[in-house]
Structures are given as structure tokens and as C-alpha cells.
Amino acid sequence: MKNGVRVAYRSGAIGLAGLLAVPAQAAVLDGCISGVSVVVVGAQANYVKESFTPQCSKAISLKYQDNGTDITAKAASAKGMHTFGGSSFTGSVFQCESSSVALPHSSISPSLTGC
């Protein structure tokens, strides 16, 4: 297992192993709120080094986490039926659900994989 947590059940106790290079989780921040841009703040300790303002399409909401070594993001449209997420950890962006969800933009929160 690479960069993950392995849980083993032994004699009534749970042991954790394989905590190699699991990035710490940072606060979930807004990049777009219903189409309104929010400044993404950069810093030397962040994955994003320089601040920028994303260009957000109308009705798009985006949230992200920056823990200094990885960045994850998840977005949805108020008009859509899915959320899309990705991260520097996985290196890709993909649809997060296999079936339609109601109001996907109201409950987006990225994880280590983005979804």
C-alpha cells in the first residue's frame, strides 16, 4: 500500500500501520462561491506559491485544500448533477459520483483524492 492507512484487526484491537507520507489535511477553502471568485492565497508554505483570483463561470462553486505538499479541489454547478474533483496527489480530475445527485454544489468538500 502506498501512502495510505492499513487497518488490521488483531485479538480485539485495531492496529494502524503504513502511515508513510500521508499528507496532513488543511482547512477547506472557497475558490468560487456560486460564480463569484475568491482570491486563492499563496504562501511559501503552501502548494500555491503566488496568490491569484480564479475566473469562475456563473453558478460554479469550487472548494480546495492546500497542505503544502498537495492540493485538492472539488467543483460543481448549480445547474449540474455531479461534482468533479481532483488533486496533485492523484494527478487527475474526474466525476465523483456514478449517479446523479441533487444540488451537488451545496455539499462539496474535497478529500485527498479530490472527491
Q: What would the pLDDT profile of 35-75 be if each residue is shown by its tens digit?
A: 899 999 999 999 999 999 999 999 899 999 998 889 999 99
- Are 47 and 69 in contact by the 8 Å Cβ rule? The answer is yes
Could you tell me if residue 2 is inside a domain?
no
Q: How far apart are alpha carbons 94 and 113 in whole angstroms?
A: 10
Could you tell me if residue 114 is inside a domain?
no
Which long-range contacts (C-beta less than 8 Å, at least 24 apart) are formed by 94-97?
Answer: none
| Percent share of the chain, pLDDT over 70 | 78
Could you tell me if residue 30 is inside a domain?
yes
Quote the domain boundaries for residue 99.
23-107
Could you tell me if residue 60 is inside a domain?
yes
pTM above threshold 0.75: no
Residue 40 identity = V
Structural domain total, the chain: 1
Could you tell me if residue 12 is inside a domain?
no
Q: How far apart are the first and last CA of the chain?
A: 20
Could you tell me if residue 83 is inside a domain?
yes
Range name among 33-37, 62-66, 90-94, 99-103 with the lowest pLDDT average: 99-103
Residue labelled with grid coordinates 508513510 = 20
Could you tell me if residue 76 is inside a domain?
yes
Could you tell me if residue 113 is inside a domain?
no
